[in-house]
Amino acid sequence: MDCSITLYLDQRIKRISDIYIVKLRVLSPTLRVTKMYSTNFKLTSEEFELARSKKPKGKFVDLSIELNKLLSKALEIAESIIPFSFEKFEKEMFSEPRNKADVIDAFKVAIEENKSLGRLGNADNYQNSLNSISKFLEKKADKKVDKLLFSEITTEWLQKYEEYMKTNGKSTTTISMYVRALRAIFNSSISKGDISSKIYPFGKEKSKYKISSVKKVKKTLKPDELKKLFKATGSEEQLRAKAFFFFSYNCSGMNFKDIANLTYGQIDGDRLKFFRKKTENTTSEQTEISVYLTPFAHDVIKRYGSENKGANTLIFSIITKEMSAEEKQKAIKNFTRSVNQGLKKLAVKVGIDENISTYYARHSFSTNAIRSGASMELVSEQLGHADLKTTQNYFSGFEDDSIEKLTKKLMKF
């Protein structure tokens, strides 16, 4: 263990009552720091010595047990922190005890865990779900509610919560997202052993709550639509939006977060190699994605890239390395929003669905690649999907003329 912990009666300042605070003295040789932490025990010098003796007697037996419990807890926490950190020690040692049966508490823990791991998108999803549930509870009780037991969430409760969200204009997609977050909290608490699986309210049985399925929205542009968008002209803002949309499309549907984090050192001639940011903290083994840079992609880098071509320099000035995780997330969201605004304006000009967004680049790549003869496995690899089913959800199906050609071929024997 990278520290030593002892109980210490702090008599550094003389008191008239001769009663002093018992403190935890924590010494870290590696950090060369010693810190004192006050406890709830206040004793005289004689009481402290009798309680800390090898064989305490009378009333000091119970006191000795309590002091040893405190010391054991501190030692156990310190031993679990590798490498030792005073900040983590303080958080675990002195934070309020958790109510593991409380849904709101479980949500807060999940939010903090995801933030600490840099999974800010997940943290936002949990926070939005928690905000929605809190408003529902407040509406029901006509006052602020800060506690909700897992056992209170039944099929009926979930049905009422869903009805509340519908009444407040929430879409099926939003309702599904919030309830799935709640289900994830249930699953996590069950796996940790915090609650019993017997109270699990979700499932396919008639007595269980079923999360509404969301109708798959086609986010694919056909080749003729891509051609119209590629040839569209407009303002500098719109042209920049078009450039980054097709850069993503050219680079195997690269996510905009990945685009923001690209560095010049990842370019090797006509190849660009990267790991998906979305999965860097969720999988034990990451697969490197290698994409071919077309002349168009090279041109986008030349036009919008940084003048400094150092290996560690970010290609595009969407974020900076000095930003915090929260600042990077905000900057990427703002950039993506700007691209989407420009795309929508161009789409209207050329008669394409005005709901177009950066997601269409990723979906269009996957669908058009498969329609052009690429295997589902190859496309899945390029998208960085761990599960083939995820790639199948991106695929918008084959067009009627493709089915016609296939059927005609089948009759040639």
In contact, 162 and 146? CB cutoff 8 Å = no
> What pLDDT score does 286 carry?
66
Cβ neighbours of 20 (radius 10 Å)? 21
Instruction: Fill in the DSSP letter of residue 40.
Output: E
Model confidence at 362, in pLDDT bands (50, 70, 90)?
confident
- Quote the CA–CA distance of 218 and 356 in Å, as a whole number: 10
Handedness of CA 28, 29, 32, 35 (dihedral sign): positive
pLDDT at residue 303 tops 90:
yes
Bigger pLDDT: 63 or 394? Answer: 63
In contact, 256 and 243? CB cutoff 8 Å = no
Residue type, 55: K
> What pLDDT score does 80 carry?
87
Pick the closest to residue 368 from 346, 399, 339 (CA basis).
399
Q: What is the pLDDT of residues 229-253, one digit of tens each?
A: 999 999 999 999 999 999 998 888 8
Bigger pLDDT: 254 or 107? Answer: 107
Residue type, 185: I
Model confidence at 291, in pLDDT bands (50, 70, 90)?
confident
pLDDT at residue 91 tops 60:
yes
- Quote the CA–CA distance of 224 and 356 in Å, as a whole number: 15
Find residue 42's DSSP bridge partners: 21
Pick the closest to residue 211 from 239, 177, 251, 235 (CA basis).
177
pLDDT at residue 180 tops 90:
yes
> What pLDDT score does 35 carry?
94
- Quote the CA–CA distance of 329 and 360 in Å, as a whole number: 20
Q: Which two tokens stand for residue 287?
A: 């697969």
pLDDT at residue 41 tops 90:
yes
- Quote the CA–CA distance of 245 and 362 in Å, as a whole number: 9
Q: Mean pLDDT, to the nearest integer, of 101-118?
A: 89
> What pLDDT score does 113 carry?
87
pLDDT at residue 102 tops 80:
yes
Model confidence at 49, in pLDDT bands (50, 70, 90)?
very high
Model confidence at 98, in pLDDT bands (50, 70, 90)?
confident
DSSP letters for 145-159: ----BGGG--HHHHH
Pick the closest to residue 360 from 348, 347, 351, 372 (CA basis).
347
> What pLDDT score does 380 carry?
66
Q: What is the pLDDT of residues 132-163, one digit of tens each?
A: 999 999 999 999 999 999 999 999 999 999 99
Pick the closest to residue 287 from 383, 162, 407 (CA basis).
383
pLDDT at residue 182 tops 50:
yes
Lowest-pLDDT choice from 10-19, 21-30, 42-51, 203-212 = 10-19
> What pLDDT score does 342 carry?
94
pLDDT at residue 67 tops 60:
yes
Burial class (CB in 10 A: 0-12, 13-18, 19+), 217: exposed
What percentage of the chain has pLDDT greater than the value 90?
59
Q: Compute CA distances 301 → 248, 288, 293, 413, whole Å.
A: 12, 21, 10, 50
Q: Mean pLDDT, to the nearest integer, of 157-177?
A: 94
In contact, 111 and 123? CB cutoff 8 Å = yes
pLDDT at residue 325 tops 90:
no
Q: Which two tokens stand for residue 349?
A: 């000009």
Q: Which two tokens stand for residue 301?
A: 């880098």
* Phi then psi dihedrals of residue 271, to 5 deg: -120, 140
Q: What is the pLDDT of residues 363-411, one digit of tens each?
A: 888 877 777 666 666 666 666 655 656 555 545 444 444 444 544 444 4
Q: Compute CA distances 371 → 228, 364, 378, 406, whole Å.
A: 19, 10, 13, 12
Residue burial 361-396, b: 16+ Cβ < 10 Å; e: rest: bbbbbbbbbbbeeeebeebbbbbbbeeeeebeebbb
C-alpha radius of gyration, the chain, whole number: 29
* Phi then psi dihedrals of residue 255, to 5 deg: -65, 145
pLDDT at residue 272 tops 70:
yes
Q: What share of the chain is helix, strand, coil (3-state, %, to 5)?
A: 55, 10, 35
> What pLDDT score does 278 carry?
66
> What pLDDT score does 75 carry?
94
